[in-house]
Amino acid sequence: MPMESSIESLLREDLADLKPYQSARRIGGKGKVFINANESPFTNVDLGDMNFETINRYPEQQPERLIEAYASYAGVNLENVVCTRGADEAIELLIRTFCNVGKDSISYFAPSYGMYQISATTCGISSIQVPFNDDYTLPSDWSNTEKSKLTFICNPNNPTGTIITPVDIKAVLNRTPFGLVVVDEAYIDFSIENTVTDLIKEFPNLVVLRTLSKAFALAGLRCGFLIASPQVTQQVLKVLAPYPVSVPVEQIATQALSSEGIALMQQQRQLIAQNKQRLLDALKGIATKVLPSASNFVYAEFDDADAIWRELVNQEIIARRYVVEKLKNGIRFTIGSTTENCTLINLFNNMKQLKDEQ
């Protein structure tokens, strides 16, 4: 039997330096207010409505009721929708389906969500980062992405919360004759007028990723969707595991996508928008820069982000910081419950008062 140290030597060489994704759950931290993972503060599931009688049977690879419910919500056809274990699985699935090891690359506009690069690396695929303009719009020259099999655009972008207009995304599609353009719409329910799902009919190489983890308050469920032309979905379904959607996931997700579930999400989205406005107001006079947010979080920069961070930690408020140079003065705050938001706002107001008194 190989010794523990020799197990390490069995590892794929290209994974030796891989740092796992620093998810909020992995970083952890002691706190009372968790506003570090862009989750919803609400719990919506009614388990009383569930029926697990068929749990002794394998589920369908793509449960019909759930696909119908999401297709109807997204305004697309059934053959356009694939259900995955969160949008994260869809990212990896696309790479595994379309990229040849040692030959192909993916590209993404950066700084953005860390999993594009990590998933590519774990699949043995290289990635190209294309920096956004300073205002987080798309750069005019991104010709180096043109050879990539997959180009990811996170919209709204995590962690900045900024939006790329559908017009600009269409321009990328027109200039990408080769490869797929993947628009990660994990936060689009907070800014639904910017979705590009209606472009799928026109562009068979467009893929849209969605999730129930954010506006639908189901991060713990692990349910996401890939929306694309049948040419794409048919290939992806060959690579997807045979039973990715468990019976409880199907039932809870279908409940969330009922007309009552959608109405509840819309009501909660409105409350989140109100609380976001309160937080944006409170950041005036404390932050040096606050980015416009089309999502359920706010990214702000500070003269002394370390000092702000220390204050947050003292109050057991767990937000999110970044190591990349461009974001080193920034902190991302998820909009939590009204009570959590008030705790954060009170902290900023107290800091402003202390500053004024000095």
Ligand X SMILES: Cc1ncc(COP(=O)(O)O)c(C=O)c1O
Q: State the residues that interact with ligand X by CB under 6 A.
A: 38, 86-88, 113, 154, 158, 184, 186, 211, 213, 219, 224
List strand residue ranges (DSSP E) for the chain, in order: 33-34, 81-84, 105-110, 126-131, 150-154, 180-184, 206-211, 224-228, 289-290, 297-301, 317-318, 330-334
Return phi, psi of residue 81, to 5°: -115, 135
Cβ closer to ligand X: 149 or 214? Answer: 214
User: Burial of 51 by CB count in 10 Å (0-12 exposed, 13-18 middle, 19+ buried)?
Assistant: exposed
What CA–CA distance (Å, rounded) separates 23 from 35?
A: 13
What CA–CA distance (Å, rounded) separates 298 from 280?
A: 8
Q: Cβ–Cβ contacts within 10 Å for residue 71, how many? A: 18
Cβ closer to ligand X: 195 or 211? Answer: 211
To the nearest whole angstrom, how small is the minimum distance from the Cβ of residue 153 to ligand X?
A: 10
CA dihedral 79, 81, 83, 84 (to 10 degrees): 110
To the nearest whole angstrom, how small is the minimum distance from the Cβ of residue 184 to ligand X?
A: 5
DSSP 156-198: SPTTT-----HHHHHHHHHT--SSEEEEE-TTGGGSGGG--GG
To the nearest whole angstrom, how small is the minimum distance from the Cβ of residue 268 to ligand X?
A: 17
To the nearest whole angstrom, how small is the minimum distance from the Cβ of residue 222 to ligand X?
A: 7
To the nearest whole angstrom, how small is the minimum distance from the Cβ of residue 28 to ligand X?
A: 16
Cβ closer to ligand X: 212 or 282? Answer: 212
Q: Do the beta carbons of residue 85 and residue 105 sit within 8 Å? A: no
To the nearest whole angstrom, how small is the minimum distance from the Cβ of residue 147 to ligand X?
A: 24
What CA–CA distance (Å, rounded) separates 338 from 311?
A: 20
Cβ closer to ligand X: 74 or 347? Answer: 74
Adjacent-strand bridge partners of 298: 333
To the nearest whole angstrom, how small is the minimum distance from the Cβ of residue 21 to ligand X?
A: 10
Looking at this protein, which amino acid is placed at residue 15?
Answer: L
Cβ closer to ligand X: 190 or 348? Answer: 190
Q: Do the beta carbons of residue 185 and residue 215 sit within 8 Å? A: no
Question: Nearest residue to ligand X, using CB?
Answer: 86
**Both tokens of residue 293?**
């947010």
To the nearest whole angstrom, how small is the minimum distance from the Cβ of residue 40 to ligand X?
A: 11
Cβ closer to ligand X: 168 or 311? Answer: 168
Cβ closer to ligand X: 142 or 225? Answer: 225
Cβ closer to ligand X: 23 or 133? Answer: 23
To the nearest whole angstrom, how small is the minimum distance from the Cβ of residue 158 to ligand X?
A: 4
What is the arrangement of strands in the sheet containing 180-184, beginning at the earlier edge strand? 81-84, 224-228, 206-211, 180-184, 150-154, 105-110, 126-131
Looking at this protein, which amino acid is placed at residue 185?
Answer: E
Cβ closer to ligand X: 246 or 347? Answer: 246
